[in-house]
Every structure is written in C-alpha cells, then in structure tokens.
Chains A and B, each alone.
Chain A
Amino acid sequence: MAKVKVEFQDIALAFGRTEVLRNISLSIEPGEFFALLGPSGSGKSTLLRVIAGFAQAQSGRVLVDGRDISAVPPWKRDIGMVFQNYALWPHMTVQDNVAFGLEERKLPRNEVKHKVAAALDLVGLADFAARRPSQLSGGQQQRVALARTIAIEPKVLLLDEPLSNLDAKLRVHMRAELLALQRKLGVTTIFVTHDQEEALSISDRVAVLDAGVIQQVGAPVELFDHPASRFIASFVGTINLFAGTLRVGADAMVFESEALGTLALPGLPATAPGEVEIAFRPHVVALMEAGAPVERGLIRLDGCITEREFLGEFIRYTVRAGRADIVADQAHYTGARSFVPGDSVKLGIQPGQIRVLAR
C-alpha cells in the first residue's frame, strides 16, 4: 500500500456562529500513526470529518498525497473511516457489511469474496462471516467495522474514538492490536481520542486540540516533558502548577510566589524573567521523613501529608507545603516506606525537572 501524506492548510470551520476549528495547519507524515487528542467539544472529531468529507471547511485546504480533496465527495475519497458507534448495518450480515465498499467499487465477485475473507481473517473473525452484527459482542463489532474499512485498502485510515465503546480491559488489548495492524498495513492513520493515555501510548505523534485550535503537536514524550502551555501540561498527565514571578537572583533564577514563598531554582535553563508558572510532575517529587538529610542539589520544602491515594504501582500523596498543595507520587513496592495523613515530611524536587511556562 502506497503511504500518503495528509496536510491541513489553514482550515477554519464554523457551525453558524460557533467556531469549531480555527487556523488548523498540520502535516501528517506517510505511514504515521497520528492522534488528535482533546477534550470533548475541542473540534477533533470535526477535523476528522473534514478529511472524510462529512464536514466542509469554510476556508483552507486538505491535501492528501499532495492533492486538494476539498471538492471530492465522500464516496470518491478512498479514505476509510471507522465510526465511533461502528455504524454496522443491521440488515446485512458481517460479510455483506465488509463486502459493501468492494461492491461499490465494482470489483469482480470472486475478488470481493477473496478480499472479504482476507479482511475478516486479518481481524480474526473469519468464522463469524454469516452472523448479523447484533449477534456479536462489542469488541467483535469493532473488528468488523475495522475489517469493513481496511477491505477497501484506503489511502488513509480514520478512527473516531474507536475504543471508547469497549470496556477497560478490552480497550488496552484492542489498542495494541490496532497498532500492530497499522504497522502491518503501513497505512497513514489518524485517530481521534479524548483519552490522553490512549493517545500517548500508541501514536507516533499527537496533536492536542482545544477550543478548535491546535495547542501543540509533537511526539508523546515531547508533549509530556515539554508542554507548551498550561493547558497541555494539565491535560497530558497530572502536574503541579504554581503561578508566580521569576527574577534573576545572585547565583540562580529565583521564583517568588504566594503559595511557595521564595525558591531558588539552580540549574534552570536560561529563561526570561517575568510572570510565569512553574510546573513539575508528581513523580519527580521525592518524599522523606521530616528529619532525614536531603540530597544536595534538590529544592527543599517542608510539608505535611493531607491525603493519600493508593494506586497500585504508586501512592499519590497530597502534601501541604506552606500555602501550596503539592501532589507527589511515590513508587510502591513491598516494604516501601509510606506515609499517612498527618505525617510531617520533607519534599525534594530536582530543579532540572521543573518547567517554566509563560503566563
């Protein structure tokens, strides 16, 4: 299958007065597994529908393989879409569903049969060809929807919240299966989700949308480690955020805030002083007993445990330090030191893990 590139050039779309997409410019590389991530109402599904031809942008262009497809009707686009509710036709059997697109392409009958069998085989449903969609489980219906779409060998594969109707366990399983299938086919895949874990875990790159605007595009690690804004920082993973003022101190930058008081941030990369927010992930905060010696080079704070959540792999503490509530995740293993609410603790934060976000 030839791998194609998908480009958005300055897409804008509004329903009446509601602006749904603004200035969307984005380039998705051939063969990429690309996620559109955003909260509900962010416009991510609409963007997907623009590619499929079910929504028409008021301005801007969509290029697939370098060709503007804005004027091409949906049925001539060769862009496969798996719908959130699967949209399997209840009046057709599984194989009729899968054969549909091939029949519309007027393929010879034996070729249709062959390709239907191959597609069903690929998703492991060869034995279910004669069933009706209503006789399948949710996971199986999802596979049929997938088989129906890949049977036509689309140039681009679109997945609209494909895992949202599955239960948690099946979702993790199908997610790995989806990725394996995509790697095997090599088809450029765009995948819409509101679940950041899902987006980070399987995609090559992610575009985060909010209020119809792309907030940041990057590889999952990049988004996680270097969020471009407060929105990204808090939407992708959990994070501690504090607003304050950054100024140049004697031998390091100094961060002053009402919540945390005055903090020296040694080793911070050169940053312009001014009104900022500092951000750090819960798992970079080390917790120690109140009297314990603190490793050199860490930012030190004193605090008191107020809440404790046991999450299996780690324990999530909320620590009151000064006027701030800091979330700290401590790895959990048998015999690990743990705290209870009321314990006095010392917090240590690696300065290198602190991100400064402009306000």
Chain B
Amino acid sequence: MSRRYTFPQAALAFVIALFLLVFLVVPVLTVIFVAFTNSDGSLTLAHFRSFFQLTLMREAFYNSLYVGGMSVVVSSFFALPLAYFTARFQFRGALLVQTLGVLPLIMPPFVGATAMQLLFGRSGSLNLILGDWFDFNLPLMEGLNAVIFVEALHYFPFILLNLTVALNNIDSAMEESAQNLGASGFRLFRRIVFPLALPGYIAGAALVFLKVFDDVATPLVLNVTDILAAQAYFRITSIGIDDPIGYVASVIMVIASMAALWGSTWVMRGKDYATLQRGGSSLATRKLGPWQAVFAYGWIALVLLLVLSPHLGLALLSFSKMWSFTVIPETYTLDNYAAVFRDSPFMLWNSLLYCGIAAGLDVAIGTAIAYLMLRTKLPGRRLLDFVASAAVAIPGIVLGIGYLRTFRGFNLPFTDLPFVSFWMIIAFAFTVRRLPYALRSCVASLQQVHISMEEAAENLGANNRRTIFRIVVPLMAGGILAGFVTSFLTAAVEISATLMLVSATSDAPASYGIYLYMQSIVGRGPGAALGVITVVLVGLGTYASHRIMRARSMRFETLQALK
C-alpha cells in the first residue's frame, strides 16, 4: 500500500489502546505496584519477604507449581496415545476422539468437581465398589490429587487438539524421504515425526498449565485452599483490598503464567514448521493390528468413560434428592430444576448479556487489530497485538483484584454508584480475558486472505472502506464467527474474575450461581441443575457453530488450496 496509515485507522487504534490501557494494563500494573510499595508509596521488597515467611504461603506457592506441572503430566498421559492413534492409524475412532476432545471444554472443571467427588472420592461410587469387592481404595480425590485429576481430565484436550493438528500438518513427504534414506520404526518417529510435532505439544502443554494456574473455583469446590489463587482470593475478600500479601500472590501468579507462556515460545522459536506443502498429503495412516486395535479402542473407551463421568455425575446429581454413601443416588426428583427456574433464570440472562457484549467487543477489537497489524504500517500496531495477547497470561483473580483496586473510589458518571459494582465491569473483564483467543482467530483468518484479493478490489475501483466491507470482512467471516463463538462460550463458563467482581447476586452470571450453590450441601442439587442447563446450552452453541463453520469452510476450501 502506498500510505502508511489513514486517520480513521489511527483513531481506531487509539480507541482500542485506550480500552486496553484502562481495563488491562493499568489494573495489572496497579497490582504489581501495590506488591512492591509501602503504604507511603516507597518501593519495598518487604511484602515478598513476609509472604515467603508465612508457611501457608510457601506451601501454596509450591502446591500451585506442583498442581500445574502434574496436571500437564497427567493430561499428556491421556492425550498422547489418542493423538498418536488418530494421526497414524485408520480407525473409526477419529470422530470419537475429536468429540472427546471438545466435550470437557464445554464444562468448566469446577462445575463437575462436586460430581467427581461423589464418583471418585473416598466414599464415592468407585471406591464404594472397590471397597466392597477388593477392600481397596483409590486416592484419586485426596487433597491435591483431586485438583490434578479434575483439571487434567478437563484440559487434556488442549494437548490432544494441538498435537493432532501438528501431526496432521506433517507432510507425508517428510516421512517418506526419511524412509527413503533408510529410517524406520522408532528411529523415524524420534528423528522426524516427534520433532515436527513437538511445537504442537508444547503449545498445548503451556495452555494446560496456564488454565490450571488460573483456576481458583475448582480447588475451592474441592476444599483445597493452600494454593496461590485461592490464597489471593481469601486475602483480598476476607482481610481486605489493602492486604499486600494478596498482591504478592497475584504478582507471583502473573510471573509463573508469563514464564510458562514465554518458556513455550522460547522452546518453539524457529521450530514452528508448517511442512504441509501445497497439494501435499498428511502422514500415511496404517491399518491397526488386532492387538493394537484392542489397545486403541480400550484406551479410548477408558478415557471416554472418565471424560463423561463429570457430565454423568452432574446429571445424576441434578436429578437426585440426596446422594451420599451410595454408588448412585437412591431417590430422584425434578425439584432441583424447579428451584433453578424459580430462583435463578436471571443468571442465565446475565450470562447471555455479559458474554454477548464480551464476544461482540472481542471480535470487533480482534478484527480491527488484525487489520491494523497485517494491512497497515501504523506505528505501534505490534504493541497493540502484544498487549491484547498478553491478557492470556493474566489470571482472572489478578485481573479482578486489579479492577477492584484501580477503580475503587470511582463512581459511575452522574450517579453515586461505585464503578466496581456496575455490572458492565464483569462484561469488560470477560472481554479482556477472551480477547487473545478471538484475536488469534481473526488474525489467522485475515492471514489466509491473500492481499491480492484486496488489491484486485482497489484496482477495480473500490476504496479502502468499501474494500474492507465488501471483501475483507466477508472473507474473514468464518474466523470472526469462530472468534465470537469461542469468546462467548468460554466467557459463559468464566469464574475466576467473576468471583472477584460480582458484588450483588442479582448481577451474577450463571457460572457464579453454580459456584454459589455448590458451596453448601443442600445447594448441590440445584447447582448441578443449573450446571446441566449451562452445559447443554453451551454444548448446543458449540455444535451449531461447528456446523455453520464446516459448511462455510467447505465452500472456500478449494480456492484456499490454490494459494
């Protein structure tokens, strides 16, 4: 393009920058600032010293790292065989594996955690059976194990999906040329297939770590409080917004998340080879041998059973009157659903409203940043992209604390209402938290639009604005829609920032409602019912968008291949 940028582009960039500054940069910097300063504003490391002098905090720190790391290990244990089966063998389980990959993402871990306790806990269904038959107990749900087990079961799809994509992107010529040169079997795998797929695995593993580190609700539901996120939450909510220890915990969480993220990009730098050539084909798939088939299908069945267990457990719980010390509930009822429809339909509306606003803003900002970054030479465009993406490394708790601290003392314009208790702040938190995903989706779809598509339009007489609306946006539509759906659905199950920011129950979204219900034994039933309703709605949304997007992508596929 001839011009570096136009005035409207610069104005748009300014508005986005302002939004990110107010709702991301300043709150996070405030948290960091508070952690490093005395009440009189002078710099200090004293808060960090007192943090590490507290035994509980030291434990929380190690526990958080341990849970994050072990969740990656256990997730890999579930995901690696599944990814390998789909990429290397011809078998009917491919679709199953895909479904299996998405299922746990639809339901956030804290929703199913109670049900998991009832199924796999000390007096849960599995151990009741094991105890009766073998006089033996599996400590799956004891202490930190519980968190690791539940988190891994929910987040292993990140590894599965990333790794499967990476394996499928390896051109068969890569493998064939190695075979041609004499490599085969495990050596072929170790020297060619594994290194080529590694970036996918690392990306998935980093995401799992981030997610687990960010999650505060699951440990709380499972009664595990000696981890960082929970301690930060308790410190701020019980001791108060001025307690520096909560801020130190927050800063450590941010550092650990950033380290995981940057560590993964550092390991992958220069290694993200998309080797699939134009007209190339993916790795050859082999027929399963009889023993391989037994193992493959057996593994899938086992993982599927585990993956579905929180869903089944939740469903059982939602229909049960009372469920304890029995393998399955003994009396069933619809009262829980009645209670939910009586007491909390407004929460579903709140969710719809907040998530709608957040997803709409996300794709608008995402599309704008993608365009500014890929199609203009606006100074600072990369910084905009970087800041928006950096939100991925900010745990929800930290963002929530940042908002509370930054905006305290501010009132809504023309009212006496404090800004932090305004419901829009929850929607803004969702927007910032889901922006990285929507942004990546928009950037990827714009990258697929060859610049000559736009040049052709300009050549035929369409100006900048007309080109954007007639060519760029329609061609990006798939990515924009995908971004919207991802933002919306994942915001619908967001809990960590929500936990900090909900100031009145009437403003609470459904995810908060579920959490609240699950706090008490009597609330479990209605909580499960609300959980089931949310999960079903989110699942339907995912399915519908998947159908729409598949129809679209089939239409464009042939031409995309030409480029």
Contact = CB atoms under 8 A, between A and B. Distances in A.
A80 B2 contact: no
Interface string B549-563: 000000111111011
Interface string A186-226: 00000000000000000000000000000000000000000
Interface string B526-563: 00000000000000000000000000000111111011
Contacts of A79: 459
Given A54-B455, A87-B453, A148 B460 contact: yes
A105 interface: yes
Interface in A67-89: 73-81, 83-85, 87-89
Nearest to B560: A90
B59 interface: no
Given A54-B455, A74-B459, A104-B460, A89 B471 contact: yes
B331 interface: no
A81 B450 CA distance: 15
Given A54-B1, A89-B453, A105 B562 contact: no
A259 B556 CA distance: 59
Contacts of A348: none
Contacts, number: 94
17 contacts: A52-B459, A73-B2, A73-B463, A74-B2, A74-B458, A75-B459, A77-B459, A78-B461, A80-B459, A87-B452, A88-B559, A90-B560, A100-B462, A104-B462, A134-B555, A148-B460, A152-B461
A91 interface: yes
Contacts of B49: none
Nearest to A138: B562
A134 B563 CA distance: 12
B25 interface: no
A219 B390 CA distance: 59
A78 B460 CA distance: 7
CB-based closest 7 A-B pairs: A101-B460, A134-B558, A87-B452, A104-B461, A87-B456, A74-B458, A56-B2
Contact of A53 (B2, B466, B474, B560): B2
Given A85-B563, A100-B457, A90 B462 contact: no
Contacts of A52: 455, 459
B475 interface: yes
A135 B554 CA distance: 12
A227 interface: no
A73 B1 CA distance: 10
Interface of B: 1-2, 450, 452-453, 455-463, 466-467, 470-471, 474-475, 477, 555-560, 562-563
A56 B556 CA distance: 32
A78 B555 CA distance: 31
Contact of B456 (A77, A83, A134, A141): A83
A89 B450 CA distance: 10
Contact of B475 (A77, A81, A84, A91): A91
B551 to A, nearest CB: 13
A75 B562 contact: no
A133 B557 CA distance: 11
Given A85-B450, A85-B562, A85-B563, A90 B555 contact: yes
Chain B at the A interface: mostly helix, strand, loop or mixed? helix
Given A55-B2, A73-B2, 7 more contacts: A54-B455, A74-B458, A89-B457, A100-B457, A100-B470, A105-B461, A152-B460
A74 B456 CA distance: 10
The residue among B1, B456, B477, B562 with the most chain A CB atoms within 10 A of its own CB is: B456
B475 A89 contact: yes
A85 B459 contact: no
A5 interface: no
A90 B460 contact: no
A148 B461 CA distance: 12
Interface in A125-151: 132-135, 141, 148-149
Interface string A44-74: 0000000011111000000000000000011
A134 B458 contact: no
A84 B555 CA distance: 22
A134 B462 contact: no
Interface in A142-174: 148-149, 152
Contacts of A135: 558
A242 to B, nearest CB: 42
Given A56-B2, A134-B557, A104 B466 contact: yes
Interface string A85-99: 101111100000000
Contacts of B457: 75, 89, 100, 104
A90 B459 contact: no
Contacts of B555: 90-91, 132, 134
Contacts of B456: 81, 83, 87, 89, 148
Nearest to B475: A91
A87 B456 CA distance: 7
The residue among B461, B474, B555 with the most chain A CB atoms within 10 A of its own CB is: B461
A323 to B, nearest CB: 40
Contacts of B563: 85
A81 B461 contact: no
Nearest to B478: A91
Given A56-B2, A73-B2, A134-B555, A149 B460 contact: yes
A226 to B, nearest CB: 36
A107 to B, nearest CB: 11
Nearest to B459: A81
Nearest to A79: B459
A84 B562 CA distance: 11
